[in-house]
Amino acid sequence: MRTTYIHKVEDSEAFKHQLLMWSQQFDDVVWLDSNNYQQNHSKYDAVLAVDAFTSIQTDFHNAFEQLKDYQSITKDWIFGYLTYDLKNDVEPLRSHNHDGLEFSDLYFFQPKKLFFFKGNQVEIHYFKMVDDEFETDLKAIKLIHPSTHQLINDSVKIKLRIHKEDYFEKINNMLAHIHRGDIYEANFCQEFYAENTQINPLETYNKLNGISNPPFATFLKCNDKYVLSASPERYLKKEGNTVISQPIKGTTKRSLDMAEDEQLKTELLKNEKERSENIMIVDLVRNDLSKTAIKGSVEVEELCKIYTFDQVHHMISTVKSKVESNTNPVDIIKSTFPMGSMTGAPKISAMKIIEALEETKRGIYSGAVGYFSPSGDFDFNVVIRSILYNETKKYVSYSVGGAITAKSDPLKEYEECLVKAKAMRQVLEDQSK
């Protein structure tokens, strides 16, 4: 079905840039880059999938069953995304908030051409029907000069969907739900957006990725819609019979002063509120994984470990389980979706309250981008720290959020949102200078 080639590269970073520029000719592109971030459970340094042979695109109605059928029939590599609003397929919920982006609820495609990076080696898989294009493609990729294109100099006027005073009112409303015992924790998100705006998607992604260097960076193109993501978070991975989830809960800023930076890490590790946020979501993830796990196999590998990124320090836990070899991979995702770190506890109550208080349909924000392998393994990130773009509508959006618990201070939550939004805002505002 596919022809495999092994290509050695002297400079993998330069080849990555050339390859991404070459990929822009296609309507269907998924690029996943670890930025050589040293973390466990990483199989590839980077992956590129382009040029759809087959695809599935649907709204939330029966979406997971349709994906299950598609994945079972293709028995091949498929790449794509799951939006947050697939919650409506999992539970009797709805999404009626404003949607300026208009992504389909689910999209996957079977690529004709695949590139897997590991060290200085690229493993390339071409469908038999296009393997005669390999040599021509490789020459074209190598001829690309990996210099930057000029950004489109539109003035990006970023607006707030929720203004500061309204934000405080909504957080206090959520705290009232917590104090009543309706929920223990919920992730509340707000959108920043720009209308009548053109951006250069690839250059915007390169700048965002260059600022953040995260382990789950994504460039996704689906016709006229783009995800430009500097995500630090893995949602779910399956390798063999092992399933891994790595929720992030707990964030603090970085400092250029090394001593102060270490102090910020120590304070985050000891912060009672941040630890309680993380542990509540770990309990939720353990419960979600237990739905498909072999009895007694769910374990917490790391609890509240501090990971350092270019922009922030994060508190991350790693939860693992074992599944039977005949467990359908889509069922594992469906039983844990949406991810606990972006919902709350109890999950369904939290999602209902989120929907009532937020102003924007989340769509692909707080959903997931990733792939299934022919054997049914998979790996998906969480779509956060992301600029989303509808080229036809000239609509640019990024959202940020945080976990609200009984100990939350609305002002501190607002300030944390601004820290998380810093890189996206900087990239977009730099374009008009």
Which residues form the catalytic set? 233, 249
Pair 28, 52: CB distance under 8 Å = yes
- Cα torsion angle, 210, 189, 38, 293, sign: negative
What is the distance in angstroms between the CA of the first residue and the CA of the last residue of the chain?
A: 49
What the block records as the tokens of 308 is 């350092």
Angstrom distance (rounded) from CA 424 to CA 229: 9
DSSP letters, 28-85, are EEEEEE-TT---TT---SEEEEEEEEEEEEE-STTHHHHHHHHHHHH-S-EEEEE-GG
Residue pair 105/85 in contact by the 8 Å Cβ criterion: yes
**Alpha-carbon span 409 to 414, nearest angstrom:** 9
139, with CB counted inside 10 A (0-12, 13-18, 19+), is exposed
Distances (CA, A) of 5 to 24, 51, 113, 127: 22, 18, 11, 11
Distance of alpha carbon 312 from alpha carbon 250, whole angstroms: 10
Compute the distance between CA of residue 35 and CA of residue 229 in angstroms, rounded to an integer.
12
Question: Closest Cα to residue 430, out of 155, 194, 202?
Answer: 155
Token digits of residue 74: 């293709």
Pairwise CA distance, residues 187 & 256, whole Å? 29
Q: Token digits for 248?
A: 């992030």
User: Cis ω on the peptide bond leading into residue 338 (within 30° of 0)?
Assistant: yes
| Euclidean distance between CA atoms 97 and 188, whole angstroms | 14
Q: How far apart are CA 206 and CA 230, in angstroms?
A: 10
